[in-house]
Structure 1
Amino acid sequence: MNKKIMIVVYGGFLRGMGHVVRMKRLANQLFQEGNDISFYTNEQICVEMLSGPDWHVHLVQESKAFLQMEQDIKELNPDLLLIDVLDCDLQFLRLIKASSGSARLVLFEEIRAEACQLADAVVNGIYGGLDEKHMQVDGTEYFYGTPYLLLDQEISRLKDTYEVRKECKKVVISLGGSDPRGLLSKAVSALLEDDHLHILAVTGKASRIEEQIEAEHIQFIRHTDQLPARLSEADLAIVAGGMTLYEAVCIGVPSIVLSQVDHQAVTAARFAQKGACRHLGLGELVDEKDIRCAVERLSGSYFLRRSIHLNGRTLIDGKGTERVKNILIHLMNHHQKEHKDV
């Protein structure tokens, strides 16, 4: 009998689109196992990204999300509830928990104790650091570290085939699904005179950047579902500190990081300490000349690019989506649920 799974995920211009992208990846894996999927999301652009023939997608107002979901919860009687919402409202979580019966509740990238204690499991692929850790505290299972990152399934294959070329010819710039600080424009402007490089600038689904610099060596493309493949064609990448950084590190693409927000800067600093990227800091504080100097230094040194490539490859294996899928299937199949006080 098919299991029923409800997924709540929010994204948009300020939140970014990484949450939506990774939940769609996970949903694809769960659907292939014969499960029924229903999405609940907060913005039309997220609906557009999630839409497909394999599941239902519902648009909800954040302030009224539980009221809009309550009837579905009663009718569907889900086996699993997945919540991937940054700083998710605690009252919403309590109401979901109280109404979900025997459904397992799993939170993603959540570190607040009062939220985690409501869940059966917490998956912190990003917030959990670089090393794997699995533990159970007061009935909640925790899965920490890069082994639980929800990366594209193509990553493992690209990781096996990527090679650092002696000559640096192609640079891919991807600075997030929304790029709220307009870092893509800054990075492209910094490389305007570097016409010996081919620049591929990828704007995200929720990006509001409209202008395109006219130069023969610069190509713009709007959102693509094939970003990992694009990265694998690059000799050098300029990325933010979100999911694209993890993908670049896993594949082994030498990368320069312009972080969009503080928690991305923490992530990028960890990788930089391991020699797995070059972190310039919060992008809004970085001058164009610093971007240009970093690109010139890395593009001109095969040794530096290969060093970053080798250092990064050992940190992420790219199999996290499969691991998390198996964890969730195990949770759904384990009927002797330990009930906890809400």
Structure 2
Amino acid sequence: MRVLIRADASHAIGSGHIARCLTLATVLRNGGAEVAFACRELPGHMLDRLATQGWRTYRLPADTGTATIDIEAALPWQADIDALQAQLAAGERFDWVIVDHYGLGHQWQTAARQWAPRIAAIDDLANRRHAVDLLLDQNFSGTAGAYAPWIDTKCRGLFGPRFAMIRDEFKREPVPVRALARRVLVNFGGFDAAGETWKAMQALQGINGLEVDFVAGTGNPEWERMQAMAHGQSDWRLQTHTEQFAELMAKADLFIGAGGGTSWERAALGLPTISIAVAGNQQANGECMAAVGAHLYLGPRETVSVESLRQAISVLVSNQGLRQSFAERSRSLVDGLGVQRVAAALAGEFIQLRPATMDDARLLFDGRNAEAVRRWSVQQDSIGWSSHLIWLASTLANPQRLLLVAQALDGPIGVLRYDLDGVRAEVSIYLFEGRFGLGWGRVLLSLGEGFIQRHWPQLRTIEAQVMPDNQASIKLFRDGGYEQADCRFERALKDHPHD
């Protein structure tokens, strides 16, 4: 699978778009995909860093024919397409183009289909039309209802913190909530062009007993003043960049920062947070997270004074109960598997279903005997090797039974079994170790439905039986369009090849 990501970073835009796309790109590459980035050479771009990390990059000129510095303003889409076309080799093709850019909408997305049959967008705003096959908004404010006016009904939506894309280093034990907060971490993104770190420094000055780490880019407009102030504080550390950001977060008792992608990293760690929106696209999510008790949101940066921030810090430092509540609620929102779910949604277009053979005997034996699979099977005891071989040989010779293996770029995903009875078939499904909870089940059901309709054109109905306590499978079949009657599910097939 070949993927092209179109995103930008700059002092004005920040580094958040590139950061979350890089998280996704890493998972895709680990799964066997080839990923490239196309970015404008704006002041503060990250192209050199991407190239150093081994990513293929396409450098687009900074001048797009507009002088606007509004990060949400539309770019001249045709000029952007032309610039990208000039960088790509003639006839170059990708399987997906992913665009994470507020300035590029449906016209750019439609034009980008010259390079890929599938287009995906990552968004936070729900304020413009999209012409994509898949749309991701990992924020609370991103809902199917919010995007209904902006996407086609055939577009697949991935909405909410279930799809929060966080890096592996943030999947660790929760941050302990101590009686009195002693260590604070301050970060307002990779550049902090708004200068909020300086505001936090002023608010923290005079609050004794705190050890503080400040991480702020050199593009910060208050950099010299921040250096001077930090120099006079023995328990303060100011740095422009760190490769150990997750470690700093894990050591902190309190975080002060923006409402961007770092929100989900903090949530995964259960790190109590004071959040300030530094851009308009962060406001709705900050409000939604505050409404469910996941952090203390002070509002847009223009409305937050040094004194109000100082008061908020003083309250949280000594209030263990409030910090504990923030920690527990935020951790309940993010399980750390969001980026794998997004990668699965992209890779699901390239899953291959094939009939099983005797060469799959060991794969099927290990998969069926896994504890997570046996727990929800009618027969919960382990199956012996000899019995398994006899069963597999019998299954493969049975024209009324179809056993399918689902294969992705990085290995097998799961197994589907169909048993035919006239114009009806019963389906059984299980996933292999490491594939649970990522959305693969629904992908397999959909692919399997098309496969068996071609294999058994007379088929009219698919049935399934689920153990009463197996909530994951119950949800799977409900979401897959099956009608439920007690522990049995049934789906009528609408498209019949011979009708």
**TM-score interval (norm. to shorter):** 0.7 to 0.9
After superposition, the Cα gap between the structure-2 partners of 1:308 and 1:114, relative to the gap in structure 1 and judged at 3 Å, is closer
Q: For residue 56 of structure 1, what is the aligned residue in structure 2?
A: 56
Amino acid at match of 1:216: S
Q: For residue 178 of structure 1, what is the aligned residue in structure 2?
A: 191
Of 22, 27, 30, the residue aligned with 1:29 is 27
Of 120, 127, 150, the residue aligned with 1:106 is 120
Matched, 1:190 2:203: yes
Q: For residue 170 of structure 2, what is the aligned residue in structure 1?
A: 155
Higher-Rg member (1/2): 2
Amino acid at match of 1:59: R
TM-score (norm 2): 0.61
Q: Deviations over 1:228-268 (max 9, x none)?
A: 32111100110111112221122111111121023312111
* Aligned 8 A contact 1:129 1:146 in 2: no
After superposition, the Cα gap between the structure-2 partners of 1:130 and 1:96, relative to the gap in structure 1 and judged at 3 Å, is closer
Matched, 1:247 2:262: no
After superposition, the Cα gap between the structure-2 partners of 1:89 and 1:73, relative to the gap in structure 1 and judged at 3 Å, is farther
Q: Deviations over 1:189-229 (max 9, x none)?
A: 11111231011111147544422122112110112243232
Matched residue SS, 1:76: coil
Shift of 1:142: 0.9
Moved more, 57-66 or 255-264: 57-66
TM-score (norm 1): 0.87
Q: For residue 70 of structure 1, what is the aligned residue in structure 2?
A: 85
Q: For residue 323 of structure 1, what is the aligned residue in structure 2?
A: 341
Shift of 1:55: 2.3
Q: For residue 47 of structure 1, what is the aligned residue in structure 2?
A: 47
Gaps of 5+ in 2: 65-78, 354-499
Gaps of 5+ in 1: 336-342
**Alpha-carbon distance in 2 for matches of 1:333, 1:70:** 29
After superposition, the Cα gap between the structure-2 partners of 1:266 and 1:75, relative to the gap in structure 1 and judged at 3 Å, is same
* Aligned 8 A contact 2:109 2:119 in 1: no
Identity of aligned residues (%): 23
* Aligned 8 A contact 1:177 1:206 in 2: no
**Alpha-carbon distance in 2 for matches of 1:218, 1:22:** 29
Of 297, 300, 317, the residue aligned with 2:315 is 297
After superposition, the Cα gap between the structure-2 partners of 1:111 and 1:255, relative to the gap in structure 1 and judged at 3 Å, is closer
* Aligned 8 A contact 1:178 1:208 in 2: no
Greater RCO, 1 or 2 (C-alpha within 8 Å, sep 6+):
1
Q: For residue 139 of structure 1, what is the aligned residue in structure 2?
A: 154
**Alpha-carbon distance in 2 for matches of 1:304, 1:266:** 22
Which residues of 2 match residues 9-20 of structure 1 at below 5 A? 9-20=7-18
**Alpha-carbon distance in 2 for matches of 1:153, 1:331:** 24
Q: For residue 406 of structure 2, what is the aligned residue in structure 1?
A: none
* Aligned 8 A contact 1:175 1:240 in 2: yes
Shift of 1:106: 0.6
Shift of 1:173: 0.4
* Aligned 8 A contact 2:259 2:283 in 1: yes
